[in-house]
Structure formats: structure tokens, C-alpha cells
């Protein structure tokens, strides 16, 4: 391979699903600008992802899904992000929220997947509702912003606040069908433009008791699903929900390095004697630093995924320290990717920030994605430090 050729897609741990995702990268890139401009993933790309079986990664095989592991799913989603960040963000959120639905009661799962095994679910944890108890369930109204992928969702798993005895956690997730909610366009941002992270609006819609699951049970991986023989019915809820969000970061890093290695070597370095950047020590060091930083990010991310898979296979919840470590490492991975991309943009020069430059979109997508509440590095470090030091006031949030 010459120095001007793109870096090949990774092959370590590659599976058929990862190969399918890699094969779609050219198509995803072809429609990336369209996705960004119209604020939702191109229908052509969404259809291709579905046809390739990449939108039901975590869904059990009994419903025609893959029952894929956390590691394998992250590899797939990272490859999608090598094509486009917004596309991967929507795919990541739709895949993980669809997994949420597979942890509900058997009746609720049949509601979602019985008539449509390819059903896609979007979701928001935060309660944004008012509720009225009625016979057999609740009447719910509310607004849930930042619902990524909602444009393609058949169902929504939304946070609600239940009436519970004082001191108990009132949060729950409830499943609503697509005909029960509207989508208000509110996602007008500088990065992840095409993720369709708009606001779901519900007005006095009925949700039956069997489509409600208490957050406290989900947090402890004590799900309502009776299919306990399935590995993914034991995956740790918060670690999975957090870790999946850095899958796009890994792919963005791969794409940024690929573009740099393909285009930078022959570029002249302005105001220096170097007619080719490949001969400039400054650029050599910068690219080496970024490539190493990205490798460190992948090592951390996939080690966390392997830990989740190992504990799920064992049928046990990861320890408090392990969950805190995953939360910490999630933020560190995002931090590493952001840092590495910044180094590459400096190496590539000010032109990297031109709106027409793909590197500019990669940078914006990474910056926005790294600021999700479950990804914020400082929060993860606080959680991990509290656990390691045994803070007197315990944990400050869910892990």
C-alpha cells in the first residue's frame, strides 16, 4: 500500500454483519450531504441498512434478528460511521432502543415485533410527561426532545414518571406505537444534523400496563422478559445505553484518518520548505499521534463491550466498579477521538473547516456526539472516582 491510498477497513474481529456495513460505506458517503441537509437519514440509505439486516442487531433470533453481542454491534455501527456520523448515530440509537423493547414483557414484545419483526424503536429516558391512571394503564401526555432516529421509528420507548411511595424511583419506560405520537422538528444544530433528533409529542394517549417497565428493574438488569436463556436479556442497561453512543465516534476517527492518509501526503506545507507534507516532521508526528490516540480509543471501547458481553453470558450484572469503569471509559473514548480529530484537522490545515470539506462534518459530528449526557467525560470520571475512593455520599447518578 502506498502512502496515498486510503486505510482499509479493519478486519480484526470482523464478521458477516461488519462486512455488510463496510460494503455500504460508499453508498452512505454518497448520500451524507443529503442526510445532513434534510435533517434525517436518506431513505435510500435507511432502506439499504434494513435490507442488509443492520437495524435489528440486538433483536432476538426468535423475531428474525441477530441477537448480536455488544462488541459485534459496536463494530457494525462504527463501520456505518465510517460512512457518515449522522447515519451511524441514528442507527445506534434505533438499534439500542429496539433492544430496550426486547426486555419488556412477552405481550409487549409481541405488540412491537409480532406483526412487524423489523420494527424499529426510538427512545428517550427522561420523563417528559403528565400521567393519569385509568383502568388497565395510563393516559399520557408530554414532550420528549432529542429523540434520535424518530423519523424512522415504528415505536417509541419514552420515559414516564409514575406515582410511587415516597423514596422510590418513579421512572419507567413506556412503549407507544407510531400512530400515538407526532414529531415536532426541533433539531437545528451544527453537528449530527441528519440524526433526526427531533421532539416527540404525545397528547392523552393510552399505554397499557403491560407496555410499562420500571426503570429501577431495568437498571439492575431485572427485566420483564421471560426469555432469560437469551444472552442479551442479561445485558447491563445503563452501560449498554452509554457505550453504544461512542460507536459513531470510532467510525468518525477511522474516516478522518483515512482521508488524511489519502490526501495529506502530497499537499505542500505553506510558508515552509516542505513541498510535500509527508516529508514534514510536524505532520508525521501529528498523524502518528492521532493514529495512536484512535487505537487507544478502540482498545478501551471494545474492552468495555467485551466486559458487558462476558457478564451477560454469565447471566450476572457487572459489579458497581465495572459499571463505573464502563461509564468512565465511555467518556474517555469520546475525549480521545475528539483530541485525535483535532490534531488531524490542524495537520490538514484551515481548509479542513470549509463547509464542503468532509473533515469539517466529521469534526462537527464528533463534537456534538461527545456531548451527550451519558458520554460527558467529566461525569464518567466523577462516577469512577467515587467508586474507587468509596465516597461517603455514594453515587451521584445511575450506572
Q: How far apart are CA 200 and CA 146, in angstroms?
A: 8
What was the pLDDT predicted at 392?
A: 87
Q: What local confidence, expressed as pLDDT, does residue 32 receive? A: 96
**Helix ranges, 12-124 (H):** 16-23, 25-30, 32-38, 43-51, 70-83, 85-102, 106-113
Are 41 and 85 in contact by the 8 Å Cβ rule? The answer is no
Residue 6's pLDDT is: 36
Which domains are present in the chain? Answer: 16-113 (1.10.540.10), 121-218 (2.40.110.10), 237-389 (1.20.140.10)
3-state SS class at 41: coil
Q: What is the pLDDT of residue 13?
A: 37
Q: What is the pLDDT of residue 24?
A: 98
DSSP E strands: which ranges in the chain?
121-124, 129-134, 137-147, 155-161, 171-177, 182-184, 198-208, 212-214
Q: Measure the CA–CA gap between 398 and 125, rounded to whole angstroms.
A: 12
Q: CA 177, CA 199: separation in Å to the nearest integer?
A: 15
What is the reported pLDDT for 354? Answer: 87
Hey, which residues does 208 pair with through a beta bridge?
A: 137
Cβ atoms of 63 and 53 within 8 Å: the answer is no
Give the pLDDT of residue 398.
Answer: 84
Q: Closest Cα partner for 315 from 227, 216, 215? A: 227
Torsion on CA atoms 71, 77, 83, 89, rounded to nearest 10: -140
What does DSSP assign to residue 3? T
Distance, in Å, from the CA atom of 374 to the CA atom of 248, rounded to the nearest integer, reads: 14
What pLDDT does residue 68 have?
95
Strand order in the sheet with 137-147: 129-134, 137-147, 198-208, 182-184
Lookup: cell for 282: 510536524
pTM: 0.94
| Residue bearing cell 442488509 | 52
Residues of the chain with pLDDT under 70: 1-14, 396
Amino acid at each position: 500500500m502506498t502512502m496515498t491510498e486510503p486505510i482499509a477497513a479493519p478486519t480484526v474481529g470482523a464478521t458477516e454483519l461488519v462486512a455488510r456495513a463496510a460494503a455500504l460505506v460508499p453508498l452512505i458517503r454518497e448520500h451524507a450531504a443529503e442526510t445532513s441537509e434534510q435533517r434525517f437519514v436518506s431513505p435510500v440509505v435507511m432502506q439499504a441498512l434494513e435490507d442488509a439486516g443492520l437495524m435489528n442487531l440486538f433483536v432476538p433470533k426468535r423475531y428474525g434478528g441477530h441477537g448480536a453481542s455488544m462488541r459485534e454491534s459496536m463494530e457494525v455501527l462504527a463501520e456505518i460511521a465510517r460512512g457518515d456520523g449522522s447515519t451511524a448515530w441514528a442507527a445506534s440509537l434505533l438499534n439500542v432502543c429496539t433492544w430496550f423493547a426486547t426486555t419488556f414483557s412477552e405481550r409487549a414484545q409481541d405488540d412491537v415485533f409480532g406483526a412487524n419483526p423489523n420494527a424499529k424503536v426510538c427512545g428517550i429516558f427522561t420523563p417528559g410527561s403528565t400521567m393519569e391512571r385509568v383502568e388497565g394503564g395510563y393516559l399520557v401526555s408530554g414532550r420528549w426532545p432529542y429523540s434520535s432516529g424518530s423519523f424512522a421509528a415504528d415505536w417509541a420507548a419514552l420515559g414516564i414518571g409514575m406515582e410511587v411511595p415516597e423514596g422510590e424511583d418513579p421512572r419507567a419506560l413506556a412503549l407507544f406505537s407510531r400512530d400515538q405520537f407526532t414529531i415536532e422538528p426541533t433539531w437545528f444544530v451544527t453537528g449530527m444534523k441528519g440524526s433526526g433528533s427531533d421532539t416527540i409529542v404525545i397528547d392523552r394517549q393510552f399505554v397499557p400496563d403491560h407496555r410499562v417497565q420500571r426503570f429501577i428493574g431495568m437498571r439492575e438488569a431485572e427485566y420483564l422478559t421471560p426469555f432469560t436463556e437469551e444472552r442479551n436479556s442479561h445485558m447491563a442497561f445503563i452501560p449498554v445505553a452509554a457505550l453504544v453512543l461512542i460507536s459513531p465516534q470510532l467510525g468518525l476517527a477511522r474516516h478522518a484518518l483515512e482521508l488524511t492518509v489519502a490526501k495529506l501526503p502530497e499537499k505542500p506545507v505553506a510558508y515552509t520548505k516542505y513541498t510535500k507534507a509527508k516529508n514534514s516532521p510536524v505532520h508525521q508526528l501529528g498523524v502518528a499521534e492521532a493514529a495512536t490516540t484512535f487505537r487507544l480509543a478502540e482498545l478501551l471501547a471494545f474492552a468495555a463491550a467485551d466486559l458487558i458481553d462476558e457478564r451477560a453470558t454469565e447471566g450476572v450484572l457487572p459489579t458497581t466498579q465495572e459499571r463505573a469503569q464502563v461509564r468512565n471509559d465511555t467518556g474517555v473514548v469520546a475525549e480521545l477521538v475528539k483530541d485525535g480529530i483535532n490534531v488531524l484537522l490542524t495537520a490538514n490545515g484551515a481548509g479542513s473547516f470549509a463547509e464542503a470539506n468532509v473533515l469539517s462534518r466529521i469534526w462537527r459530528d464528533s463534537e456534538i456526539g461527545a456531548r451527550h449526557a451519558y458520554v460527558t467525560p467529566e461525569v464518567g470520571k466523577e462516577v469512577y472516582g467515587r467508586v474507587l475512593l468509596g465516597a461517603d455520599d455514594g453515587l451521584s447518578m445511575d450506572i
